[in-house]
Each structure stands twice: as C-alpha cells, then as structure tokens.
Amino acid sequence: MLHALWLLLAFLHGAACTKTTYLEFNVTWVNRNPDGLHERPVMGINGQWPIPALHVTKGERVVIAVSNHLGNETTSLHWHGLYMNGTSYMDGPPGIAQCEIPPGESFVYDFKIDQPGTYWFHSHTRGQYPDGLRAPLIVNDPENPSKEEVDGEIVLSFSDWYHDLMRPLLASFVSVTNPTGAEPVPKSALINDSQNVTVAIQPGKTYLIRMVNMAAFASMYVWFQGHSMRVVEVDGIYTEPTEASMLYLTAGQRYSVLITVDPSGGTNIPFVASMDEELFDDIPDDLNSNVTGWLVLDNAKELPTPSNVDTFEALDDMSLRPLDGSAALDKVDRTITLDMKMDNLGDGANYAFFNNNTYVEPTVPTLYTVMSSGQYSDNPIVYGSHTNSFVLHGNETVEIILNNNDDGKHPFHLHGHAFQVIARSEEDAGSYSEGNTLSTPAVPLKRDTVLVQPNGYAVLRFRSDNPGVWLFHCHLEWHVASGLIATFIEAPLELQKTATIPPDHYDLCARNKPPVPTLGNAAGNVDDLLDLNGEPAPPQPLPAGFTTKGIIALVISILNGLIMVGMIAWYGMLQSPATEPGAGDEDGGPEGENQPLLAGPGPGT
C-alpha cells in the first residue's frame, strides 16, 4: 500500500529532474546494551540500532515513509537544522507542524534538501529521542570548499545514555517529588550510540570528521589526542578554517573538522568525548562521564588509553566566522525578549518559563490554526495563552534577546533558520541591556543551536525569510518536557497562500485517539477565533504564601516518612522466608507501565 503511494508520488513528480530517494523507516523496539552495563529496550529503525547515519546529497528530495510499530507510544521525526523551506508541514514536531503518528499508523515525510552539512534527525515526540530514536543526517556537497583536501570522511555522534526508559524518567522529573527540577543524570557516554568505536585511517591523509551531539542532556568536550582540528563547519554553516584542540558540543550542536594524520604513522589515536559534569546536580559514583574511540592506523598495534586532561579548554564558538563573510544584520525590525526561569507551579512540580509562561501544547497543532484562521492568523491570540507564540512578518530582521535567569547552562535551538549570535555573555552577567552589550562582531558566528551561560544572556538575529511555524526551545530534553518552548509563526498570511498540506496529514489527526481537531484556534474554537475557552493550560500557580522552599521542606519530610516506612517493611521482609526477586529496580528509577520488551531486571543479589 505504501509502495502504491510512492509510485503515485513518483508519477506526480515525474517531471521534476531532482534526484529522489525513497526510504521506509519502520520504528520498533529492539533490545540493546550499548554501554555493556544494562540491557534495555531502545527505539530502532528497520530492526537496526544504532540507527545508521542517513547520507543524502544537496539538492536531493527525500521521501521517507515512517511506520510506527512501537505498539505503545506515538512518534514523529524532526530533521534538526534543515530549513524546510516551503515545507514547514514536514518539520516534525507534533502539536506544531503535524499530529502524532499513533501505533500502527504511517506518515510520509517528503522534502527537498538544499543546504549542505552535518545534521541529525530525531523523534520530536515528548521526551522520546533519548530512548534511541536519533541518528546523524549528512548532506553531501559536491562543491564542499574543503573537498580538494579531503581523503575520507568520518561521522561521529556523541550521546548520553540512561538505563531507564524516558517515560518513567519524565514522570519522576516533572513531579512534586522533584521540586527543585533536578534532571536525571545519565549513566554513560556513547560514541555512535556504542562504545569502543574504532575507525580505520591511513598515515598522511586528511579526514573530514563530522560530529553531532545527539544527547538528551549532556554537553560533550571532544578532543583527538595529539592532533589539532581545523573547524570548517558549524551547524551546517561553512566557517573560515579555525584551529582547535578541543571542542564543546551541547545537545543538538554539530561541527565538522579536518584532521591530518602524521605521514610517518605512529600509534593509534584515541579520541575522547567527556560529559560536562557542571550540568549535573549531583555526580553519582557510578557515572561514566568519558567515552573513548580510536582512529586506527594499525590493527596489530594496541589501542592506547587516553592521557588525562587537567582542564577543559574548548574553542569559543564565538570566534568562528562564516566562510561567506555575512555581515551582522543591523536595523532590527522586531525585538523579542525572552526572560527564562525555572519555578514551581501549584502541583509542586518544577517548570520552565519564558516571560512567566510555561509551554503547553495547544488542542489544534499551531500550523493548522494558521491554515484555518483566515485574517486572524496575524493575531497571536489565536495561538493560545500558553504556547509563547510570536507572529513574525515576512522579510524582517528579527532579534531574540534571551535572558537566562537560571543557574544552569541551556542550549537553545531554532527550527527553520540558522541565526547570527550577535552577543553572548559570560556566566552571571545578568540580563541584557544596551549598556552591557559586548561590541557586535562585524561577521558574527552563525549556527542553529547556541549555548547560553548561567545567569547570562544571548542576542540572536535572523531574517524572517522562511514562512512557517518554527519552534525555539532549549535542547535539553528535560526542559522541553518542563515547557521551555516558544513558537514563532512566520508570515502566516503568506503561508496560507503557499503551503499545500497533504490531506493525509489531516487524516493522521483523525486517526489519533482521541482524534485531534485541525480547525480553529489553540482551543479548537472555530466560531470565535478569539475565544480560548477550554484551551490546554498548565497547573495553577502556587497559592500565595506557599513557597518553593515550603514544597521542598514538605517533600523532604514526606520522603523521610517513606524511608521510615520502607525500613520497617524491609525489616519485615528479612523475617519472611521468600522475598520476590525483581521487585526493586536496581538503579532506583521508577518502573514504567510501558516497558514492552523488558522483563524487570532483578537486582543481582
């Protein structure tokens, strides 16, 4: 049936001369043990995990039929870093650009890729990609500026790894039992979603090494022992070649670098990815922060243990200049200030806020509100009170001032665009004001995911030249779950005229359980587009006089009580002849009701 659909699509597009690649992605659970410490279900594609990198060529059209065979979870795919020019409806995020793909259903992604570089694709369904549904996406460029120099290409992904499934982790993260919003700490670091990766290389050759951080949470320091890197691309933007001995990649960021191997050979070359532990609220004893791989000159020789590194001194990405020399956008037409913070709501859980609003997915996916709200699509009200929606006019210079009023580092990602980083403060610089700006670089860094320092700010600019609905969010998957999302609705009236959303996108919404409405405002109201009655909303704010500290104290006393009860029960169990193995989860995580393939691992006695 899918094949018939493809034939039809191929026929309809037969006249176009672009190369088209047709792929079928069957998403299923498979069991894997990538760090050798714990087997668990992971989300694979066509029975494969790690999911192989997808390689395409600039100018190519890809048609990917995604079938959800997970059985117990909805899914979706997002193409991180691709501008999706003219195809905003193929961008992936449910609630924004499409509906969820329910179990047993399919969705065809069909788009043209007109930009070269290093990207990745991942599930954009709430909290899902750290369960494994993620892989690099490489867009080969026949005109790559470093092609003369390059003898071979290597793709490396870095990721963090949890032993528990995301569903139970998310449930315990956004919870009254976690009032400080402490994020679960991963167990291990992975390279290519595995460990002990070896890559064959030859002396005297130059390699283009493409690197992607696909982690849920951890930023990575990355270095190649005894070798300097020449950065030539950042998030799909070619850069003036820049030397670096160490790179720092937040979740979502990419770099490609050139490395030339000594012509006289020598020992095999270890390379290391090391998680930035400053992101973690606590450092468990069993944390494996480092992962090593090797560039192998000679299989017969040993794989050396990497030497210790005393200080992490990574390249400051602000020093990177786009190769095309694009000057800083001046004459800002529209400034959007986003003050972000973390705080508790009335349910006692910790949430993330932009301008005192935590994101809640609307009833109608935002793009479908654009398409069904006529002249009202220009009015931000129709997109709801809890979606942090901003309507942008076409062809303006938009400036985002992001003030991070939180003591954590946050990597912010914009869909549909790369942005210029006009300014980025150091830690503790406070909020941005004209007075405390650093001087604007003439040719600023351009990328699609940027690190913002604790209690600091960043100023970003881009041209609104890509009609669509685009998310702007923290790429720490925990903070996506706690609402650190804004929505940019770019040139909606233009979008209404130019976007032709395939009917099967709307059909998919009808096949969700319960069906998802596709007409009207954020509340699904069709008659009065300014009436948001019934829109999805976050929990109420904390009652006056009830402080976050109060909740923390309350939770601690409840936990103390539970520990007492637990000790009494445990003492009782010691007395009873048969205790049930497997009753406890060895790493203390909650058991989800949704663990399809995993028989609860018993604690090794």
Binding site for ligand C2O (CB under 6 A): 78, 80, 122, 124, 252, 413, 415, 471, 473, 475
Residue among 95 and 181 whose Cβ is closer to ligand C2O: 95
Judged by DSSP in three states, 2 sits in helix
321 HSE (CA, 13 A, CB side): 12
Cβ distance to ligand C2O smaller for residue 78 or 447: 78
Please list the residues that pair with 219 across neighbouring strands. Answer: none
Question: Which are the contacts of 564, defined by CB distance < 8 A and separation ≥ 6?
Answer: none
Give me the least distance between CB of 135 and ligand C2O, in Å please. 12
* Closest approach of ligand C2O to the CB of residue 331, in Å: 29
CB of 264 to ligand C2O, least distance (A): 41
C-alpha 348/C-alpha 410 separation (Å) is 23
Nearest alpha carbon to residue 126 among 452, 453, 471: 471
Q: Which is nearer to ligand C2O, 117 or 592 (CB)?
A: 117
Minimal distance, residue 561 CB to ligand C2O, in Å = 40
CB of 323 closer than 8 Å to CB of 145: yes
CB of 530 to ligand C2O, least distance (A): 29
The DSSP-derived string for 398-421 is: EEEEEEE-SSS-EEEEETT--EEE
Q: Which is nearer to ligand C2O, 129 or 294 (CB)?
A: 129
Is the Cβ of residue 167 or residue 473 nearer to ligand C2O in the bound state? Answer: 473
Q: Contact, 439 vs 459, CB < 8 A?
A: no
Helix (H) or strand (E) run with residue 565 in it? helix 548-575
Instruction: Indicate the residue among 124 and 386 with the shorter CB distance to ligand C2O.
Output: 124
Nearest to ligand C2O of 80, 126 (CB atom): 80
- Of the pair 78, 479, the CB lying nearest ligand C2O is at 78
| Of 162, 212, 210, nearest in space to 189 by CA | 162
Rounded to the nearest 10°, the torsion over CA 68, 70, 75, 81 is -90
CB of 415 to ligand C2O, least distance (A): 6
Least separation, in Å, of the C-beta of 121 and ligand C2O?
Answer: 9
537 HSE (CA, 13 A, CB side): 11
Beta bridge partners of 80: 120
The residue number whose beta carbon is nearest to ligand C2O equals 80
Between strands 269-275 and 188-191, the pairing is unpaired
Locate 227 and state its tokens: 């070798």
